[in-house]
Chains A and B, each alone.
Chain A
């Protein structure tokens, strides 16, 4: 079932493969981008801050989606690779004094290379074994960061110098907004494009049945390594942005429950789609904002609540949402959105 508006037909390969097909879609995307980049004009610092966090999370989640959603390699250690990217960027700009664009790319490469190291098991095992290996990877990475005090400052953390490209210094939420959203848009576009190239089709083949893919001639080792590299590269650049945006980082920032949250985000949003990570990230981060903001109000308004209410409500809520989505809508919000689009396009004949 092709998802085209009623009445449009494809008469050439180019039309069939196009990401943006109709003039209406072009107009909508242009309008959305204009609105997005005009955000700082009417949003206050509070919301810009939140959107910056959403942007950083989105880059990492898109990487994770390519790895898990498109290629089917379970990885629950994304936050470990984000940590690698963050610390690489902090050390390269802080201790070695390299300019930001160089450290930005290098932290992505660093995370990608370390991702390759932990990707080697994926050639031998899959499923649960790979998931456990990725959990082990995260803990090992965080432990090394904690112990290598000479390089990383250990548990004291590092202060990260300002990011600057040429004479442009990024030290306000507004400037970071443009940088982060710019990178996020590029990453989402790259991910969308990846799906329709040869590499993307190889990934999907591996996900659906890797033995059959190998029989067909897809080089499993090469493509699995590539998937890990791309996923971890994006985590690395997200980490680099995170380091410069937070100004100070320490190993405690990169916890295992964040990794679980990332997996939850892409599942809730929809695996294997480009829209999925966007929806999942936005939903979860907004929920976090809501819970944090409402805690003072709830605490004072409902004194009869048990002491543990405020502590427990976040994990209870998120865990419940994750489980409910997995039971009732395992294909995530993106699937619901697609169904909505179909029904809207085929109205009044929607089935």
Chain B
């Protein structure tokens, strides 16, 4: 008897919660001339650590552009963002919605989400700006463009820097790669295999690991047996910390072997996880400047960060997505100035074509100095061409030198 009522009440409350949630989610109708920007952010779910600062940054930068820069080309930007929960089926739905709701271009936080979105987006002709990229998004180039260089570009930049500044002996240096078992790693593998010989580097070993590894001593033992001069790691912070700690135990420290990191793991959480003494002297590549740089755009970013989302202090993903807003506004501004608002207001295939050809493909913008300048060259959908080199000194990420070409 008791359970009968319990279940009845349970089901009734479930249905009412459902109705409430769906009902309250209807967005209010706005009037006025706006340019719609779609955004897919993993605010909840496994990638929430990147998605939450990402959406904070996007909201702040939209506020900044609308208030202080008077929008893009004079028209306010309307942000239509959805939480993908890092789930492929959700991304599918959200992109389909974008193609129907008058969105002019969209952006997605991670390469996983963009990979799942690009099928539908490319078919419809809706242009997209991927924040964190991987080579499969634009090989072959279609309507998806990369805002920041991908991990393969990181490798090229690091190898360039290494050959010019660190490698002092003659002959070919021996490089070992420790890669995460997804696109973060495979993009490095493909580029390295293709270009190492031409750059004068010999790849002696490539080891994969999973994101959940707790011990990499076996793989590192194999690497150590080949006597590498330089090790490049492209992974996320936690496995990278395991690798660095295990390498230190085996004697592969930054003082005996040059260690370089791709930008996926080169964050403050790596220093916390591994410990300051383990990461001392490790080199890293990052597509944006750090928060204490003197670039002009940092001032405004800091102001809005402290005003609205002070919990995200020192967060590098915030900075990357701040750039996304600036770049998107620049694209929309170019498009509006080229074809006028009425073509774009329709939000259909013509509008998307205009945004792509007059917006994306006419970009030449320095993004207020926060990330590498973005521009378009035919046949190459990667918009940013350079990254910055850093090294970790006394537990802090310090910049060394200027922008390095990642080509």
Which residues of A approach B to under 8 Å, CB–CB? 44-46, 49-50, 53, 146, 149, 153-157, 159-160, 171, 173, 245-250, 252-253, 283, 286-297, 299, 307-308, 310-314, 321, 324-325, 328-329, 333, 336, 339
Residue of A nearest to B89 (CB): A53
Q: Report the tally of A-B residue pairs with Cβ distances under 8 A.
A: 129
Distance to closest chain A CB from B106 (angstroms):
15
Distance to closest chain B CB from A40 (angstroms):
14
**A45 and B100 in contact (CB under 8 A), knowing A248-B115, A324-B10?**
yes
**A-contact 0/1 string along B70-91, CB 8 Å cutoff:** 0000000000011101001110
- Chain A CB within 8 A of B255 CB: no
Q: Is the CB of A246 within 8 A of B112?
A: no
Task: Report how far A61 CA is from B192 CA in the complex, Å.
Answer: 44
Q: Is the CB of A293 within 8 A of B44?
A: no
Q: Is the CB of B186 within 8 A of A313?
A: no
B residues contacting the other copy or chain, number (CB 8 A): 47
Q: Is the CB of B14 within 8 A of A253?
A: no
Per DSSP, are chain B's interface residues mostly helix, strand or loop, or mixed? helix
Task: Report how far A283 CA is from B12 CA in the complex, Å.
Answer: 12
B-chain residues with CB within 8 Å of residue A293 when the two chains form the complex: 21-22, 25
Task: Report how far A249 CA is from B91 CA in the complex, Å.
Answer: 12
B-chain residues with CB within 8 Å of residue A311 when the two chains form the complex: 43-45, 48, 52
Task: Report how far A252 CA is from B85 CA in the complex, Å.
Answer: 13
Q: Is the CB of A45 within 8 A of B186?
A: no
B88's partner among A171, A250, A308 (CB-CB below 8 A) is A250
Residue of B nearest to A49 (CB): B93
Residue of B nearest to A257 (CB): B46
A-chain residues with CB within 8 Å of residue B90 when the two chains form the complex: 288, 292
- Chain A CB within 8 A of B118 CB: yes
Task: Report how far A158 CA is from B182 CA in the complex, Å.
Answer: 14
Task: Report how far A132 CA is from B136 CA in the complex, Å.
Answer: 35
Distance to closest chain A CB from B60 (angstroms):
13
Task: Report how far A310 CA is from B85 CA in the complex, Å.
Answer: 9
What are some 20 contacts across the A-B interface (CB < 8 A)?
A: A45-B100, A49-B93, A153-B136, A155-B182, A156-B135, A157-B115, A159-B119, A250-B88, A250-B116, A283-B14, A288-B90, A289-B22, A290-B22, A296-B81, A297-B24, A308-B48, A310-B43, A310-B44, A311-B45, A333-B11
Distance to closest chain A CB from B299 (angstroms):
25
Distance to closest chain A CB from B162 (angstroms):
26
